[in-house]
Structure 1
Amino acid sequence: MQKDYQIFGIRAVIEAIHAGKAIDKVFIQKGLKGALFSELETLLRKEQINVSHVPLEKLDRLSKKNHQGVIAHISPVEFHSLETLVINTVESGETPFFLLLDQLSDVRNFGAIIRTAECTGVHGIIVQNKGGAPVTADTVKTSAGAVFNVPICKVDHIKDAVFYMQASGIQVVAATEKTEDMIYDVPLDVPLAIVMGAEDKGISPSVMKSADHRAKLPMYGNIGSLNVSVACGVFLYEVIRQRKK
């Protein structure tokens, strides 16, 4: 974790939250107690900030400074409002093109996806507030700086974003092998949001059920799946291919 994106100490993290800093995740030492810590916990719950309780050794590896059992990771980017982004995109006259990441966890996969999304003209990427990969220095590096060019939104639940997209006239396509429909047979030249799932368990059942379409990639080898960032790239460029017709 890049040191420029860290805040150390309970009071420092509390003040950063009050100051409106875009905090992606807070690492807290297991078993930490005290009045000031209770104040921090209450604030973290209120602001719905992603928290991970870890051993002291983990914190010591993250930083050699006097962290008091608490290290916060500040996002290097500001997050956008989903509603505002969708409204502005629709009103721009362009055909909406969004990407929903359902609890993708690897920061390098996240960065690679952001880079491809920027190259394919995606209007915005939506991630879940908890359980997904944070925007770290590794994300920035892997994205080749594209993270600063593609709006990123955070929502409490990806399913909420799916419903909002659909209410805005945007069709939602789930990328999954659990379907008979090939990507080439699903119309992608419409107002669109593509959902990519987590590396280990794919798209959550509730999100899958809510999607308008499901689509899969043809697989001819012995390995049953692609890396999620590679699969995402194929989906995004198929959108471009269809829209260029």
Structure 2
Amino acid sequence: MQKPTQIYGIRAIIEAINAGEAIDKIFIQKGLKGDLSKELEGLIRKNGINASYVPPEKLYKLTKNNHQGVIANISPITFYELETLVEKVIENKEAPLFLLLDQLSDVRNFGAIIRTAECTGVDGIIIQKKGAAPVTADTIKTSAGAAFKVPIAKVDHIKDAVYYLQASGISVTVATEKTNDTIYDVSFKKPSAIVMGSEDKGVSPSVIKAADHTAKLPLLGEIESLNVSVACGVFLYEVVRQRMD
């Protein structure tokens, strides 16, 4: 059953955090004061939760309920710990395939990527806790329900996930235009992970530097880039093609 995607009220959100709910983002009214709000802010810092300070008008657009100056978006899915996900997959599959999304911010792109990932046999998706697109109702809808089928893990930093995957015997390839190698120069028959970047900035330089391989898609037209969900689909189906040969 899909969980509710929004809660409001300071005490309710404090209780949700303490109960371990998967909170994607908290919206806090600017200038909010009081002991409870201080307690909430402390929990946000302690748990590394993504939060924004917004004017009252923003909160009233999000809900007509008595929000007490705070609204939280709750993920409709349960997230995995990276170590648990990777260990489980490695135990059960000879050549696992992981997908890392570095600061992808558009929920519909996220949903489309999850849908393609499910269709191409991706064993797990890894996103960053802060700055990543949340799993919302729009994400679920765009994914055609695949968000309930593909395990998703959240990490503090994508680079740390890259190092952990490499230590687990998984080769990491970054999709970037800043390389001479194309997607067809990389072998994906071994245990692999692919890193896709944000819509505007691509993959961060530190992640590119940490990767085993970099690869780009050959673009024959005048437009310099593809939509990230389309590019991701091409990468994933190249993995499928190689593994079917």
Structure 2 unpaired stretches of 5+? none
> Which piece of structure 1 moves more, 26-35 or 231-240?
26-35
Partner of 1:13, secondary structure, is helix
What is the CA–CA distance in structure 2 between the aligned matches of 1:83 and 1:164, rounded to whole Å? 8
Q: How does 1:79-158 map to 2 (within 5 A)?
A: 79-158=79-158
**Counterpart for residue 19 of structure 1:** 19
Deviations 1:159-182 (A, max 9, x none): 010000000010000001111101
Deviation at 1:28, TM superposition (A): 0.8
| Percent pairwise identity | 73
CA contact (8 A) 2:3 2:77 kept: no
Q: Does 2:5 match 1:5? A: yes
Give me the whole-angstrom Cα distance separating, in 2, the residues matched to 1:244 and 1:130.
Answer: 36
| Pairing 1:220–2:220 present | yes
Question: What is the aligned partner in structure 2 of residue 190 from structure 1?
Answer: 190
Q: CA RMSD in A?
A: 1.2
Whichever residue aligns with residue 82 of structure 1, its letter is L
Helix, strand or coil at the partner of 1:4: coil
Deviation at 1:94, TM superposition (A): 2.9
Report the Cα distance in structure 1 between the residues aligned to 2:138 and 2:158, rounded to whole angstroms.
Answer: 24
- Post-superposition Cα deviations, 1:121-152, rounded to whole Å, max 9, x if no partner, equal 00000000001000000000000000000000
List gaps (5 residues or longer) in structure 1: none
- Structure 2 distance, partners of 1:125, 1:31, is 37
Structure 1's consecutive aligned runs of 4 or more residues displaced over 4 angstroms after TM superposition are none
Give the number of equivalent residue pairs.
Answer: 244
Structure 2 CA distance, aligned partners of 1:130 and 1:28?
16
| Structure 1 SS opposite 2:4 | helix
Name the SS for the 2:72 alignment partner: strand
Q: Is the 8 A contact 2:25 2:74 kept in 1?
A: yes
Q: How does 1:155-234 map to 2 (within 5 A)?
A: 155-234=155-234
TM-score by length of 1: 0.97
Distance change (3 Å), C-alpha of 1:20 and 1:3: closer
Please say which of residues 52-61 and 123-132 is displaced more in the overlay.
52-61
